[in-house]
Amino acid sequence: MTESVATVATATPKGRDTGNACRLSRPGIVCPLGADHGLISSALFSASRGLRVSDDFSPGTPLSLGRVTARLVDDSDWPAPLRSRNNRLLATALEQLAPELEALKRQGIAPERIGVVLGTSTSGIGETEAAMDAQRAAVAQGTPSADSWPQSFEYRRQELGAPAECVAWMSGARGPIYTLSTACTSSAKALASARRLLASGQCDAVIAGGADSLCHMTVKGFMSLEAVSRKESLPLGAERDGINLGEAAVLFVVTPEQGGVQLTGVGESSDAHHISAPCPDGSGAEAAMRGALASAGRAPGEIDYINLHGTATPLNDAMESLAISRLFGRDAGSDAGSDSVSDAGSDTDEPRLPAVSSTKALTGHTLGACGALEAAFCWLALEHGRLPPHATPREALDPTLPTLNIVYRDRPETPPLRVMSNAFAFGGNNISLVLERHTTDPESSAC
């Protein structure tokens, strides 16, 4: 029995609509690799992990976690409903976009024409956890339950809409403002939504991206699913046994301008195979990638690099490798039935397959933030003309996976022009983005 897959492509599959420009500004990034483009790029292009071993969220069980250690914006004078670590991460990313936001003012774009679309899965849950700990302690000391909640507790901090509300409050945006929560695809879908808001004429600019912060519920929840590795994760590795968790915030200013880095394609699918496990044959992932290619008006062979979802779980890496090998291998005339993983510098290199790597080994899986974070890594790859190397050693790769063209540090540098970023979530919720670097139009006022 063949499962049906619903697919959405945000432009006509007959060809690229060059009239719908969708420029992604220089991103504001706060992640375990740092909060500065120089630091982040240095780690990204050397495959340096930003993880630290800690049992802060799993007492008695040390885990490799991607925790942000950069200085965050102080929220002590913010409105109480907006005060959370999640929003502090976003505020720190937003600070980096000051030149882009100032450019919007110079162009005379009204606040009512600026939207905010974000993705998250945690919002301010961490603050609620702290309040619940304080409440339980107060009750244990004899305080009546009704009077035991900390005076500082504000339940609205954990509302999923709080991140977008916070960014709108800080930026002054007054257009469409909302938050999406679709697990690991959330912030990639926020970028897709920004593209649609521009194409429909509802906005002249959109602040888009996402954030997730580490908390007990997230760490213990994934531990209960037996999806967390007790060691550093090994995407595509023979001994891969789960994810490392992380946190991050990433924001772009998305505008309908030519030039720079363009979001040219979006493909979304919903295969609804299982509440948490991906469809083993990769059909949902393949449908999303096909949709993104159709949306961008590109053939598979035109993609230079794919940032894998690459979680290092046995099921995800197997199905994603299968989907990529089937889609891109067929286009290239390669043997999609090959039974081994190869790397970009090996004798069995498939030069017509796009280069691939997973960056989650460097940051941890940042969940609702990962789609925007990895789009930002693709932006950096296009900006610097370099590809992020894969962190799993060659000798540790899984020989049973289909052949992929994996990037390693000794790969000859070939600047990418067109890249794809994958994000696959619970419930068979899949999205792929295509980003391209275009020559700047001298008459456009780029942000």
Distances (CA, A) of 233 to 24, 40, 319, 321, 392: 30, 19, 17, 17, 8
* pLDDT at 412 (0 to 100): 82
CA distance 435 to 192: 12
What distance lies between CA 206 and its chain's CA centroid?
A: 17
Residue 108, Cβ neighbours under 10 Å: how many?
8
Active site residue 365: yes
Distance CA 444, CA 447 (A): 9
Q: Is the distance from CB of 128 to CB of 158 less than 8 angstroms?
A: yes
CB of 128 closer than 8 Å to CB of 180: no
Residue type, 222: F
Quick count: other Cβ atoms within 10 Å of Cβ 285? 32
The answer to whether residue 309 is catalytic is: yes
Q: Alpha helices, DSSP H only, in 110-251?
A: 125-140, 162-171, 186-199, 216-224
Length of the chain: 447
22, 166, 184, 203: the catalytic one is 184
The reported pLDDT for the residue numbered 152 is: 86
List 365, 370, 390, 447, catalytic entry? 365
Task: From first to last of the 447 residues of the chain, give the pLDDT tens digit.
Answer: 334 444 444 433 333 333 589 999 999 999 999 999 999 999 999 999 999 999 999 999 999 999 999 999 999 999 999 999 999 999 999 999 999 999 999 999 999 999 999 999 999 999 999 999 999 999 998 888 778 888 888 989 999 999 999 999 999 999 999 999 999 999 999 999 999 999 999 999 999 999 999 999 999 999 999 999 999 999 999 999 999 999 999 999 999 999 999 999 999 999 888 888 888 999 999 999 999 999 999 999 999 999 999 999 999 999 999 999 999 985 444 333 333 455 554 444 444 799 999 999 999 999 999 999 999 999 999 999 999 999 999 999 999 999 899 999 998 878 999 999 999 998 889 999 999 999 754 333 333
Angstrom distances, CA of residue 27 to CA of 35, 47, 96, 364, 377 = 11, 20, 8, 19, 9
CA triplet 79, 106, 25: central angle to 5 degrees?
75
Which is nearest to 422 in space by CA: 281, 279, 320, 294?
Answer: 320
Inter-residue contact 289 to 420 (CB < 8 Å): yes
Q: For 404-423, how does the pLDDT look when each residue is reduced to its tens digit (9 = 90+)?
A: 999 999 988 789 999 999 99
Q: What are phi and psi of 264, to 5 degrees?
A: -95, -20
The amino acid at 83 = R
The pair of structure tokens assigned to 333 is 């005339």
Could you tell me the end-to-end alpha-carbon distance of the chain, in angstroms, rounded to an integer? Answer: 50
> What's the CA gap between 161 and 119, in Å, rounded?
9
- Would you list the DSSP string of 26-60? PPEEEBTTBSSHHHHHHHHTTT----EEE-TTSTT
Out of 166, 309, 378, 447, which one is annotated catalytic? 309
Q: Pull the structure tokens for residue 84.
A: 């959370």
Q: Examine the residue annotation and report whether 184 is marked as an active-site residue of this protein.
A: yes
Structure tokens at 182: 């679709």
